[in-house]
Amino acid sequence: MTPEAGRDRNAPVPRSADVARLAGVSRKTVSRVLNDEPYVSDEARRRVLAAADELGYRLNHAARALASGRTRSLGVVALGTAGYGTASLLVHIEHAVRDSGYALRVINTPDGAPEGIADALGSLLEQGVDGVIVSEPFVKGQVPLRVDVPVLFLGAPPSFTGSRTLTASLGTRELARAATEHLLELGHETVHHLAGPRKWYVTKDRIEGWRDALAARGAHEPPLLNGDWSAESGYAAGRALASDASVTAVFAAGDEMAIGLVHALREAGRRVPEDISVVGFDGQPVFAYVSPPLTTVRQPFEAAAREGVRVLVHAVEHPDAEPASAGEPPVELVVRGSSAPPPPGRRRSPLRTT
Amino acid sequence: MTPEAGRDRNAPVPRSADVARLAGVSRKTVSRVLNDEPYVSDEARRRVLAAADELGYRLNHAARALASGRTRSLGVVALGTAGYGTASLLVHIEHAVRDSGYALRVINTPDGAPEGIADALGSLLEQGVDGVIVSEPFVKGQVPLRVDVPVLFLGAPPSFTGSRTLTASLGTRELARAATEHLLELGHETVHHLAGPRKWYVTKDRIEGWRDALAARGAHEPPLLNGDWSAESGYAAGRALASDASVTAVFAAGDEMAIGLVHALREAGRRVPEDISVVGFDGQPVFAYVSPPLTTVRQPFEAAAREGVRVLVHAVEHPDAEPASAGEPPVELVVRGSSAPPPPGRRRSPLRTT
DNA sequence: TTGAAAGCGCTAACAG
DNA sequence: CTGTTAGCGCTTTCAA
């Protein structure tokens, strides 16, 4: 039991007026100190701080928001059902937001479609936020909503006709290209792609990165395979693929799908990586400890969250300035044991390499 | 571009007074309609709703909070660094909170120690919340803070001397017991336990569940192994364990640690499950697709979150009533391929079974 | 069933 | 450098 915990149960919660009285200054001076405004004498500042501390004073944010028109909160619209990726991103966003001195309001829309995003945004705006982050929205349609605060789209172009939209990249396309190039450089004739759900924007980006790499090498583009991020869907794709002897390399749009894929392949008697190479997407540390350890690309969640929040906060605090632009996050390929050169008979001729 | 999106950029944001004027009623009547209070004629209600809709009116939560003293928000203090478990729990909490008609404020404390929790709680209180959920706090110490709102501790007893603390179980101890019993029933002499970091409360619970099961069978209790939830730490524990021929069964306190453990064991030439059985803890779907598929127990995140939020909301809305008590979440064992009877020479005599 | 008046606790604008 | 005055947009009395 600490001193504070033992404080009189029925003592009224202290107000800024109580602090002012105890410090012997006006309420406005208390306000100045608490907001780090200039033109306060060191002596006054010291006394206010001491009084606030003694009283256990805590500022009322609702009152501040009402009076100032600013909430010092940011909102995030997240895609809650998905796995590792969205969860990691959310954790890093929270961290970056807090480091910037803002509070965070979160709404998940398992349904990332425009209406779902519109609902979530509306509710965030109502609750009061100075800016919004829309994390990995889906690809289609425009959000039917008028919004006055800056909105950052993370990992997608604005799906939105607001005047203050911003974007920050997750580096998705470059990562997908790097994953595909890795397989091509190993000597594979071409690379299959197991894509995520088409309605996710990042799915489109990964497909394009894969196509970029294929096109740059003049490799033939095989038909797309479809999954839903789950290992189970990767397993299903793997069963379909196992009977096709021409397949020697697959780039899966998520680590878990890659794991399911490998499992199905091995069950069907195809060896990984000797017969078929598999590369994932995410960089989940645990998959360094399965057999074979999964080759993958690491998503730069921390860097992307930090950059995005920086840009958003800048827009919130400097409404009239030119929006800052977010830096490109790093591309990191993690080569482990699930990728190797193709079997001898199916090796690509070095001469055909561009 | 929708009609609303195209609305005059410079139109002032509508207030409840605007709605009142358009509907031809008083502001108070607007307030009554918006708060679903009784004593409003159907006619008045209809007109208010129509006016609000036409104006695109959105209630200002800061003003409401200031006037009413209630925010209709709940806060959650989460342990942000950890993996699947904390992230899933957070998603389910968000869902349950939103279903209850509350907004959510989130703060992560990578450091779940009492001071970290105290900081997080303080900041939540300042931002304005009607109740707080502390998700899986650490075990030691009391939080030095006076709090007037109800606080729910999820998966731990209150580390806290407030008058309005509540708890809801994650069923951890029962799950750990079930995992251990499963191995014992398979015929193992005893079961080793790879525990999480000691400062986590759930670690303590898992250890106790494991001890319960061992004691109930009169099995000898081997020394604890320590990990940090990561696959890497499981791998390290596995290397240490591999040389001990007496080990035939291990219960790991997390799926990822279990995966690392299995990897190390196999590298050292011990077969899983033929020589050593391994059971995890979490129930991550992806580990059904590794070799061998991981036997585990499923954490009831959804049920626990729902129950916890129900109890908390009850306490918020009925401050004087007896607190509701949270139901016990279900125990679910998921038997897959990583557990089997011990090798013939080391089988437990059926007669020694209690 | 409805309305008028009086704040909630803070900050903005201005004056000293 | 400091204080005074007037709201912010809503809900709470309490009276009609």
- The whole-number average pLDDT for the span A88-98 is 92
User: Which chain A residue has its CA at the smallest distance from B229's CA?
Assistant: A286
Whether the Cβ atoms of residue B102 and residue B72 lie closer than 8 Å to each other: yes
For the segment B6-27, the average pLDDT, to the nearest whole number, is 79
Q: Which amino acid appears at position A191 of this protein?
A: V
Surface of A (111-130) touching B: CB under 8 A = 122-123, 125-128
Per-residue pLDDT at B342: 96
Quick one: pLDDT band at residue B85, thresholds 50, 70, 90?
Answer: confident
| Distance between CA atoms of residues B29 and B11, nearest Å | 24
The least confident of A257-266, A318-327, B272-281 is: A318-327
Q: How far is A155 from chain B (nearest CA, A)?
A: 20
Nearest to A118 by CA among A97, A134, A105: A134
- H helix or E strand, kind and range, residue A84: helix A84-99
Distance CA B125, CA A153 (A): 29
- Å between B82 CA and nearest CA of chain A: 10
pLDDT at B8 over 60: no
Enumerate the nucleotides of strand C whose atoms come under 7 Å of any protein CB.
1-5, 7-13
Q: Read off the pLDDT band of B10 (50, 70, 90).
A: low
Residue A347, pLDDT score: 62
Q: Kindly report the number of other CB atoms within 10 A of residue B120's CB atom.
A: 24
- Per domain, the residue ranges of chain B are 1-39, 73-168, 172-300
Confidence check: pLDDT of A350 > 60: no
Say yes or no to pLDDT of B271 above 60: yes
pLDDT band of residue A156 (cuts 50, 70, 90) is: confident
Question: What Å distances lie between residue B303 and A182, B254, B266, B331, CA to CA?
Answer: 43, 19, 36, 11
**Backbone φ and ψ of A298, nearest 5°:** -90, 125
Is the CB of A13 less than 8 angstroms away from the CB of B148? Answer: yes
DSSP track, A258-288: HHHHHHHHHHTT--TTTT-EEE-SB--GGGG
Contact B213, B185 (CB under 8 A): no
Instruction: Determine the residue among B1, B286, B294, B302 to mutate to test chain A binding: the one whose Cβ has the most chain A Cβ atoms within 10 Å.
Output: B286
Residues 148-187 of chain B with CB under 7 A from strand D are none
Radius of gyration over every alpha carbon of chain A, rounded to an integer in angstroms: 26
Residue B174 has pLDDT above 70, yes or no: yes
Q: Which tokens in the block code for residue B215?
A: 């004691």
For chain B, give the mean pLDDT.
89
Q: Is B243 exposed, middle or buried (0-12, 13-18, 19+ CB in 10 A)?
A: exposed
Closest residue in B to A159 (Cα–Cα): B1
Chain A nearest CA to B111, separation (Å) = 12
Distance A95 CA to C12 C1' (A): 32
Q: Which of B7-16, B39-48, B122-131, B174-183 has the lowest mean pLDDT?
A: B7-16
Answer whether CATH 3.40.640.10 is correct for domain B172-300: no
Q: Is the CB of A30 under 7 A from strand C?
A: yes
Tell me what the mean pLDDT of segment A179-198 comes to: 97
**What's the rounded mean pLDDT across residues A250-269?**
98
Contact assessment for residue B213 and residue B181, using Cβ atoms and an 8 Å cutoff: yes
Fold classification of B73-168 (topology level)? Rossmann fold (3.40.50)
**Contact, A216 vs A128, CB < 8 A?**
no
Q: Taking a C-beta distance cutoff of 8 angstroms, is the pair A190, A222 a contact?
A: yes
Q: Tell me if A60 and B66 make a contact (CB, 8 A cut-off).
A: yes
Is residue A129 scored above 50 in pLDDT?
yes
Searching chain B, which residue's CA lies closest to the CA of residue A127? B61
Q: Is the CB of A63 under 7 A from strand C?
A: yes
Higher local confidence (pLDDT), B139 or B221: B221
- CB within 8 A of B289, min separation 6: which ones? A231, A232, A234, A235, A259, A260, A262, A263
Query: What's the rounded Cα separation, in Å, for the pair B146 and A139?
Result: 47
Q: Which residue has the higher pLDDT, B308 or A116?
A: B308
pLDDT band at B144 (very low <50, low <70, confident <90, very high): low
**CB of B68 within 8 Å of any CB in chain A?**
no
Does residue A311 contact residue A164 with C-beta atoms inside 8 Å?
Answer: no
Contact yes or no for B259 and A290 at CB 8 A = yes
Distance from CA of B143 to the nearest CA of A (A): 9
What is the tens place of the pLDDT at every residue in A101-112?
Answer: 999 999 988 776
Mean pLDDT, residues B93-103: 93
Judged by CB atoms within 8 Å, which residues 194-223 of B form the interface with A? Answer: none
With CA atoms as reference, the chain B residue closest to A125 would be B58
Least confident of A123-137, A168-182, A277-291: A123-137
Mean pLDDT of chain A: 89
Could you tell me if A259 lies within 8 Å of chain B, comparing CB atoms? Answer: yes
Under a CB-based contact definition with an 8 Å cutoff, are residues A352 and A345 in contact?
no
Output the six-digit token pair for A69: 């028109």
What pLDDT sits at residue A344?
87
Which residue is closest to D11 in terms of CA–C1' distance?
A: B67
Between A116-120, A257-261, A346-350, B322-326, the lowest mean confidence (pLDDT) is in: A346-350
> Which tokens hold the place of A105?
């309001």
Strand pairing category for B277-279 and B249-252? parallel
For every residue of A321-336, DSSP letters joined together read SPPP-PPPPPPEEE--
The structure tokens listed for B188 are 């193992």
Judge if the upstream peptide bond of residue B273 is cis by omega within 30 degrees of 0. yes
- Residues in B closer than 8 angstroms to A7, CB to CB, are 146
pLDDT above 80 (res A136):
no
Categorize the per-residue pLDDT at A139 as very low, low, confident or very high, splitting at 50, 70 and 90. low
Question: At CA B338, angle to CA B334 and CA B340, rounded to 5?
Answer: 95
A302 shares contact with chain B (CB less than 8 Å): no
| Cα–Cα distance for residue pair A118/A112, rounded to 1 Å | 10
Residue A37: predicted pLDDT: 86
Say which nucleotide is closest to residue B12, CA to C1' distance: D9
- Does B194 score more than 90 pLDDT? yes
Confidence category of residue A175, pLDDT binned at 50, 70, 90:
very high
Within this chain, domains B73-168 and B172-300 share the same CATH topology: yes
Q: Give the torsion through C-alpha atoms of A46, A48, A51, A53, to 10 deg.
A: -80
Q: Is the CB of A50 under 7 A from strand C?
A: no
**Least trusted range by pLDDT, from A121-135, B63-77, B146-160, B171-185:** B146-160
Nearest CA distance, A292 vs chain B (angstrom): 10
3-class secondary structure, A289: helix
pLDDT band at B347 (very low <50, low <70, confident <90, very high): low
